Amino acid sequence: MGTTANGTSAATDKATSTSNGNATVDKGVDFANYFCTYAFLYHQKEMLSDRVRMDAYYNSVFNNKHHFIGKTVLDVGTGSGILAIWCAQTGAKKVYAVEATKMAEHARQLVKSNNLHDVVEVIEGSIEDITLPEKVDVIISEWMGYFLLRESMFDSVICARDRWLKPTGVMYPSHARMWLAPIRSGLADQKMSDYEGCMDDWHGFVNETNTYYGVDMSVLTKPFSEEQKKYYLQNSVWNNLHPNQVVGTCAILKEIDCLTVTVEDIFKIEASISLTITKEDTRLCGFGGWFDVHFNGRKENPAECEVELTTAPSVDDGTHWGQQVFLLHPPVRVNEKDEVLVNFSMSRSEENHRLMNVDLGFQIKLSSGKMLAPVRNKFYIE
């Protein structure tokens, strides 16, 4: 849930149409479904109140002044404008702060009230449509969505990089990783109970409709059940997990170099990983996914102070991103040293390129060597 993205990039449109047969994204629909949310100050406040997020960006900028002093910077999806302001405060010569929504007006006011309007230029428009007078030394953006890639804002950052970053330029952040781990959670039981309660209510509705109005609705029971299964059991859940809920080792699903990655590289994420259970006699209730990003500069121009922003399970409040949880129904009993072999695939929804579909298959190899039957689940990140 990063700061405001900029309309769908040409690269996104092309990838959408060639990879899954969809027509190019309608920018008007995209704005109504996505961008408008970020035009409200309450939403900006939520992100600005995330201390983990704010500290990481603040420290990465002010502890790496050599990347900013006397340099030209592009802030993609500036939102309130705070990243652009920090870049100017640390010594940037010029900052172009691009914002697709009317939040640009607030950003412009904030920049002026902090006496930085001679350095920071707020531009209202999508990064795909605007034109800058020069190439930039640094691109900074808070583009990360739930489980890193939901919202597909990174497409716009890639577009900005390819159009406006100098060959020697630096990306902030420079790298990103996606993680997955086995978890235990009472949410699995709660969601199943919610689904069963919903079906009990449906059956009562069918009986009453037949009794009082003489219409048998039972033919709709199966599609209603499938609809509710998706809502209660297949939609991934946003959650702030405690480290104690992680019952095994974690593994990297995807590593991204922001300087070289293409839209095609992130259009579909596929990985086969092995996770080892580290708790005795526990329940595998699902899998928790999170991400981290790093501010390392580039090989030829490294950061003097490398900074990590992680959304891993935390004993504190964590971040507004939390973790993406994929629940199993029913949970599986596991033990220490059991191995969970996971095949993971995440692709963009055909209905909305900013949402994700996940295929998650796994097979448990017991510490005795016995293999349990493979399980396959489909989830939706909406």
Say if 326 falls within a structural domain.
no
Clarify whether residues 38 and 161 are in a common domain.
Answer: yes
Q: What percent of the chain has pLDDT over 90?
A: 83
Q: For residue 215, which phi and psi values (nearest 5 degrees)?
A: -120, 125
Where is 193: in which H helix or E strand?
Answer: helix 187-213
Is pLDDT at 262 greater than 60 in this prediction? yes
- How many helices (H) and strands (E) in the chain? 10, 15
Pick the closest to residue 299 from 176, 170, 172 (CA basis).
Answer: 170
Task: Tell me the average pLDDT across 362-368.
Answer: 96
Q: How do residues 155-210 score in pLDDT, each as one tens digit?
A: 999 999 999 999 999 999 999 999 999 999 999 999 999 999 999 999 999 999 99
Say if 246 falls within a structural domain.
no
Say if 280 falls within a structural domain.
no
Contact 252/177 with Cβ under 8 angstroms?
Answer: yes
Is pLDDT at 24 greater than 90 in this prediction? no
Clarify whether residues 31 and 139 are in a common domain.
Answer: yes
Q: How do residues 243-258 score in pLDDT, each as one tens digit?
A: 999 999 999 999 999 9
Maximum mean pLDDT: which of 31-35, 221-225, 313-317:
221-225
Q: Of 22 and 364, which is predicted with more confidence? A: 364
Say if 308 falls within a structural domain.
no
Tell me the pLDDT band of 259, cut-offs 50, 70 and 90.
very high
Clarify whether residues 58 and 204 are in a common domain.
Answer: no
Say if 324 falls within a structural domain.
no
Clarify whether residues 125 and 210 are in a common domain.
Answer: no
pLDDT of residue 25: 60
CATH of the domain at 145: 3.40.50.150
Q: Of 58 and 24, which is predicted with more confidence? A: 58
Taking the C-alpha atoms of residue 326 and residue 235, their distance in angstroms, rounded to an integer, is 8
Clarify whether residues 102 and 75 are in a common domain.
Answer: yes
In Å, how far from its chain's centre is CA 98?
Answer: 21
Active site residues: 142, 151
Adjacent-strand bridge partners of 324: 238, 289
Clarify whether residues 114 and 48 are in a common domain.
Answer: yes
DSSP secondary structure, 24-38, as one string: PPPHHHHHHHTGGGG
Task: Tell me the average pLDDT across 362-376.
Answer: 95
Clarify whether residues 17 and 157 are in a common domain.
Answer: yes
Q: Domain limits at 164?
A: 10-173
Task: Tell me the average pLDDT across 345-352.
Answer: 91
Contact 201/225 with Cβ under 8 angstroms?
Answer: no
Clarify whether residues 111 and 63 are in a common domain.
Answer: yes
Tell me the pLDDT band of 43, cut-offs 50, 70 and 90.
confident
Tell me the pLDDT band of 39, cut-offs 50, 70 and 90.
low
In sequence order, which residues have a C-beta less than 8 Å from that of residue 286 and are 6 or more positions away?
A: 182, 183, 185, 187, 188, 325, 326, 327, 328, 331
pLDDT of residue 44: 81
Clarify whether residues 163 and 199 are in a common domain.
Answer: no
Is pLDDT at 9 greater than 90 in this prediction? no
Domain count, the chain: 2
pLDDT of residue 315: 87
pLDDT of residue 177: 98
Tell me the pLDDT band of 29, cut-offs 50, 70 and 90.
low
Clarify whether residues 72 and 207 are in a common domain.
Answer: no
Say if 71 falls within a structural domain.
yes
Say if 357 falls within a structural domain.
no
Clarify whether residues 202 and 98 are in a common domain.
Answer: no
Q: How do residues 154-170 score in pLDDT, each as one tens digit?
A: 999 999 999 999 999 99
Pick the closest to residue 156 from 174, 143, 169, 171 (CA basis).
Answer: 143
Say if 16 falls within a structural domain.
yes
Look at the block and give the residue holding tokens 């599986």: 332
Is pLDDT at 129 greater than 50 in this prediction? yes
Clarify whether residues 112 and 135 are in a common domain.
Answer: yes
pLDDT of residue 47: 86
